[in-house]
Amino acid sequence: MSEVASWIDLSGKNAHVTGGGKGIGKAIATTLAMAGAKVMVSDINLESAQATASEIDGAAMALDVSDREAVDAAMKQTVDELGSLDILVNNAGRYLGFGGPVEQITDEKWRSLWSVNVDGVFYCCRAAATIMKEQGNGGRIINLASTQAVTPGVGVTYDGSKGAVVMITKTLALELAPHGINVNALAPGATWVNPGDPPPLGGDAPPRSGEPLTDQVTDRISRVPMGRWGMPMDQGMAALFLASEMSAYVTGIYLPVDGGWLTL
């Protein structure tokens, strides 16, 4: 193995990816496994987690990240089944159906998104950091933020939650740096996660099949400087950078993977 190849080799590392049953989480779990990691795939939908795990020779469990006790148990179970917890990817998140004018955002809507996107990230970070500190071998935590964390667009509930994820990331990066635990945020731009896409590395924009797109979404994609949707594997490759030796001296960053969207 060349020296460079060894920098992205995750053999012997154990990872937990939340919301790994589909979309970006599935691509990240797959990429980490391709690099040699053993991956625990969790999802609120157990069947989808099992499907991903069976494709990558990983393990699977049901987990609702908004359930604090379940999160603590899931991180412990990861160590029991895989032997350690070296990499945590906080991918599970909700975004559809939470927009609209502020006066129409009910407490229930607000809490149901924040309980996953913010409470869930915090619970998983806390449980994993506790384990990683005890293990004494450092670790990697990758939190899925969004370009919406720094540019409003989807609505106060979602955009606010992703802004919180960025500051949770920076604060924990500072706190955990002396323990060798790097904490970074990955910020996807608009990413096509509908099943039936062409191969993720195909490069061209996928056909606009599946759920009908709103004019707002279509307009947004037409303004992406690179002229295409993000693909789940775009995020997978960036996550591999953040999970591997390639980013040994990187912590507390907000990494947009957005086809140039944030340059606008």
Ligand X SMILES: NC(=O)c1ccc[n+]([C@@H]2O[C@H](COP(=O)([O-])OP(=O)(O)OC[C@H]3O[C@@H](n4cnc5c(N)ncnc54)[C@H](O)[C@@H]3O)[C@@H](O)[C@H]2O)c1
Q: Which is nearer to ligand X, 12 or 202 (CB)?
A: 202
* 254 annotated active-site: no
Measured from the CB of residue 203, what is the shortest distance to ligand X in angstroms? Answer: 18
Asked if 229 contacts 237 with a C-beta cutoff of 8 angstroms, the reply is no
* Nearest to ligand X of 149, 181 (CB atom): 149
Tokens (6 digits) for 164? 């919180």
Nearer to ligand X, 9 or 197 (CB): 197
> Which amino acid does the sequence have at 95?
Y
Residues that bind ligand X (CB under 6 A): 18-19, 21-25, 43-45, 48, 63-66, 91-95, 116, 144, 146, 188, 190-191, 193
257 conformational bin, left if phi > 0, alpha if psi -120 to 50, beta if neither: beta
Cα–Cα distance, 165 to 145 (Å, whole number)? 6
CB of 178 to ligand X, least distance (A): 28
CB of 70 to ligand X, least distance (A): 9
Nearest to 144 by CA among 158, 130, 129: 158
N-to-C CA span, the chain: 41
Catalytic annotation, residues = 158
